[in-house]
Structures are given as structure tokens and as C-alpha cells.
Structure 1
Amino acid sequence: MKKTFTILGVVALFATSNAQVVINEIYTGGGTAVATSVYKYDFIELKNIGTTSVTLTDAYIQYTSKTGVFTSANSHVIPTITLAPGQSYLIQEGNAGSKGADLPVTPDLVGNLALATITGKVALTSNATVLTSPTDTNVLDFVGYGITANQFEGASYAPAPSNALSISRTSGDTNNNSADFATGTPSPQNFSGATLGISDVKNVKSLFVKNTLVKNDEIIFGENVDHVKIYGMSGQLVKTIVSSKTNSINVSDLPKGNYIVTGTIDNQSVSQKIMKD
């Protein structure tokens, strides 16, 4: 499909099979009245998966139900944004409910779309024109999720999210929702957080991480830490601990390699490099 971007201030129109700014993650279980809801709000995360900076001007998020028709009432504008390669943009959607926590990072935009939990359709478009299909010329990216979604990119729909799980892009964009997305733990990243993983250590307190060489699948902190997040060195958020203060976390689910651990101690943000062996 044709993708329209403003790149470094120059408008570029080109046909491609792959989008550069994509819908990277969708969480739809926010605010439901069940204990398995992770967060109070739904969210949509955009990401620049290309190699050049991209500016979106007057782009829109459009949403409808599994077999619904898109309308202007179920859409909202995105303020002009410029995303560097690897950078994300977090849009909080829906209304707070009785279950779940606030999003662990500050959203870059607050919308009002209440996304259907199991099946629906979300699109990123270059303008406000109401779309009719995933191949419309103003569609930058399109995700039909859940088994009963009647529109999607490629051969089939993306898997269904749930109160406990989001759907996230597995790698790039092949314009095939079923191949490009998988379910997993919700891991929202905002505009600033997406670049933390390529930054160096900052605000390190004594004994923030006691064992910066992790050999036994457990990170030990010198003090109780809130809001722990772990980033890969490319900036991808790979693990979030939503619970309250802790002095250790298990990382047996992470492969060997280098990471940056972030958290909050006495309301101060801290981060430190570690190596898992």
C-alpha cells in the first residue's frame, strides 16, 4: 500500500510493502471489572521501525468493532510528532475502570476510544478521511485482531488480546497481521522511554543493583525499588514489574546479554547497566 510520511521536513510519497511508523502494540483489557485486568486503560503504541526519522502531521487513529464500519466519531487526531528510529509513541485510550493499575509510563497522548477486548480493528491513517478498507491510500498501518474481525492486513487477523495480554509486533512489518503480531505481557513504551535503553547509566545510587553481573537469574537491589523496568540495549522494553516495592526480581525469562534496569527509589528515577550471564 502507499505510505505517506514527512521525513526530516521533506514530504516523501512512495509505494512500499512495509510501513515505517507502525502500530507496535495494542492492549484492550483496560478498566474491565475483572481481576485479570493489568491496567485501567487501553493503549495503542506506535513505533518507528525504520532507519530514518519520520514526522507525522495530522495523522489519525481510527477504530471500529470486529465487523463495524469506521466513522469519524471513533477516531482522533495525533498532534504533529517526529519519531527517531526505534522511538515509540504511547496513546492511552478508554476510560478508567475498577481493576488494574495506571499505565507504568506517562502516555504521550490521551484518547477516548474504548477498544473491544477480544476482537476489533485499529488503523493509523495519514489524515481524517474515514477509511473503508486496509488498502485505502491514507492507511499507514492497519490491525484487525481476533478471530471474528472481518478486515485485516494480509492473509488473516492478528491474535486476540485479553484482559491480561496485549498483542505486540514480533519484528518488522510484512503487512500480514497474523504473522506480524503475537500475544504477551503488556509493555507500553512512551516517547522518552523508548530511547532509554541506548543511554548510559544515569542517577545511579550506591547499591541500586548489587549484582550487576547476574549469574543466578535474579537481580538483587540494595534498596526497595518501585516501577522496575528492564530494557534491551536497542531500547526495547523487555520486562516490567507492576507490583509495589521490591528488593529482587527474577529474570529467568530473559536470555543472556546486556540490559539496562530502571526503577524509582525515594521518588528518584535511577538506572544501571547489568549483564546476565
Structure 2
Amino acid sequence: MKKIFTVLGIIAVSAFANAQIVINEIYGAGGGSNSAILYKYDFVELKNIGSTSITLTGAYLQYASAAGTFNGGNSNHALPTITLAPGQTYLLQEGSAGTAGTDLPSPDAVGTINLSGTAGKLALTTDSTAPTSATSSNVIDFLGYGSTASYYEGSAAAPAPSNTTSIARTSGDTNNNGADFTAGTPTPQNSNSGSLAVADLSRTKGNFIKNTFVKNEEITFGAQANDVKVYNMYGQVVKTASVKANESLSVAELQKGNYIVTGTVNNKPVSQKILKD
């Protein structure tokens, strides 16, 4: 799907070619009564995956159930004017079904959309007109997730999230929800969450870290990694190291919660998200 920015009041015309603000991550189990729920609110994280700054003016976030239609009301809301630098994220706090879970890091904006925790459709649009497909003319980016989503970008819907997982973009945008998103530990990041590079936030599927769910106070690496950095959810570096394959790194001093570990393996930047229990 072609991303449309020409009607959005973009500040810099030169940004048209490369800058893209996309739906980067969603979590739909906010609140509720299940003790496994991680966050008190649903969230949608936007991200500029382009190479230059870009501004959205007059944009909307719209939601529909897996089989339903976009119909406004409490299922959409206007976004404030957003300007994001390359790699910068923007956190939208949405609805809550109860009190379970912890608060999100300070959201950039607040809405009331109640996302499904298993299947649904989200559209980032240029205006409030309800989209009728993933390629409607006002759609900037579209995400259909879960096996019952009635439409989506590309050949398949993104996987379903859960009480303990979000779905997040693997790296760029190939306009195929099934290929572009994967389920994993939620990592809500607001626009002040630091300066992690775009590549640093990709979800690697290799053997960088063997135990992304950390129970024994140690991270075990599956490959030799240089310039290892552990970031908290505010983008702050809380630990650094260089390690060999099958070597462990103690994280005993870190509090329970979500972290992003980055490093260089075979001269390539890699990262994985971990949850310390």
C-alpha cells in the first residue's frame, strides 16, 4: 500500500520520499482482572521509520473489531499534530477493561479505544472518514491482527497478541502484516524514550539471547557479541558489556520488568527484548 502524506500538512516537502509514520506496536489486554496482564491500559505505538523528520496534522486513529466495520464513535479519535524524528516513537494510551497491570510510561497522548486482545483492525488515517479496506485512499498505515481479522495489509494478518505479549513491527514496512509483525514482550516507548537506532529496535530471530524470559538473574548469549547495551523502557542504558558465545551476564541489580538488549554480532547490529521476572 502506498503511504499517503501529501494531504497531512507535512512541514518539510523534502520529507515526502522517505519519512513514514507507521503503527509500530500494539497491546490490547489493558486492565481486566487477569493477574497475568502486564499493563493497565491498551496502547498503540507509532514510529517514524523514515530517514527524515515528518509531521502529521489532522490524522486519526481508527479501530474496528475483527469482523466489524469502522464506524467512529468511541472507536476512533483525532491525533494531535505529531512531529517525529527518524526512529522516534509516539505512545498512545488507549482504553482499559479493569485495574490489573502497571501504568504505561508517560503517554504522549490519551484515547479511549478498547482494543481486542486477540484480533482486530487498526487504521492510521488522514481524516475521520471510515476506511472500508486496508487500501482506502485515506489510510496512512493499516494493521489487521489475529486469525479472524476480515482484512489486513498483504497476504496475511499479523499474529494475535495476548495478556503478556504485544505485536510489534520487526523492522521496516513491506505492507504485509503477517510478515511485518511478530508477538513478543511489550515495550511501550514514548517520544522521550531515548535514541535507540531503528536497527536496534528490530526483533531478531537468531541466537543473540537464549533466555529472553529471565528468571535466574542472568542473560545467556548464543553468540559472541560486542558493545552490548541493556536499555530500560525509558531509553536509558543501564548496563554495558561484551560477551562470548554461551557466556552469561548478570542482571541481578536490575529491577523486574522489560528491557531491550542491543549489541553487535558478526559486525551487524542486533537486539532482543527481554522480561526479567
Shift of 1:13: 10
SS for the counterpart of 1:167 is strand
Aligned equivalents of 1:13 and 1:259: distance in 2?
A: 33
Q: Structure 1 segments of 4 or more deviating over 6 A?
A: none
- Letter aligned with residue 11 of structure 2: G
| Residues 158/194 of structure 1: CA separation in 2 closer, same or farther (3 Å cut) | farther
Match of 1:206 in 2: none
Between Structure 1 and Structure 2, which shows a larger proportion of strand residues? 1
Match of 2:135 in 1: 135
Task: Report the counterpart of residue 147 of structure 2 in structure 1.
Answer: 147
- Per-residue deviation, 1:236: 3.2
- Residue pairs, 1:50-89, within 5 angstroms: 50-73=50-73, 74-89=75-90
Shift of 1:194: 4.2
1:275 aligns with 2:241: yes
Amino acid in the other structure paired with 2:227 = N
Structure-2-length-normalised TM-score: 0.73
Q: Helix, strand or coil for the counterpart of 2:4?
A: strand
CA distance in 2, matches of 1:263, 1:122: 28
Q: What per-residue deviation string (whole Å, max 9, x for no partner) do you get for residues 184-214 of structure 1?
A: 000111101042x36xxxxxxxxxxxxxxxx
Q: Is the 8 A contact 2:19 2:86 kept in 1?
A: no
Structure 1 counterpart of 2:180:
180
Q: Distance in 2 between matches of 1:234 and 1:159?
A: 22
Q: Take 1:254 and 1:39, find their aligned partners in 2: how far apart are those partners?
A: 30
Answer whether contact 2:194 2:236 (CA < 8 A) is retained: no
Give 3-state SS (helix, strand or coil) of 2:220's partner: coil
- Given the alignment of the two structures, is residue 250 of structure 1 paired with residue 215 of structure 2, yes or no? no
1:127 offset after TM fit, Å? Answer: 1.4
Q: Distance in 2 between matches of 1:12 and 1:133?
A: 29
Q: Which structure 1 residue ranges, 5 or more long, are not aligned?
A: 199-232, 242-247
Cα deviation code 1:129-175 (max 9, x no counterpart): 11111101111111111111101000011100001110011111111
Q: Is contact 2:95-2:114 (8 Å) kept?
A: yes
* Number of residue pairs matched by the alignment: 231
**Aligned partner letter, 1:32:** G
The letter for the 2-side match of 1:138 is: N
Instruction: Compute the RMSD of aligned alpha carbons.
Output: 3.3
CA drift at 1:252: 2.5
Deviation, 1:28, is 0.6
Residue 251 of structure 1: CA displacement? 2.8
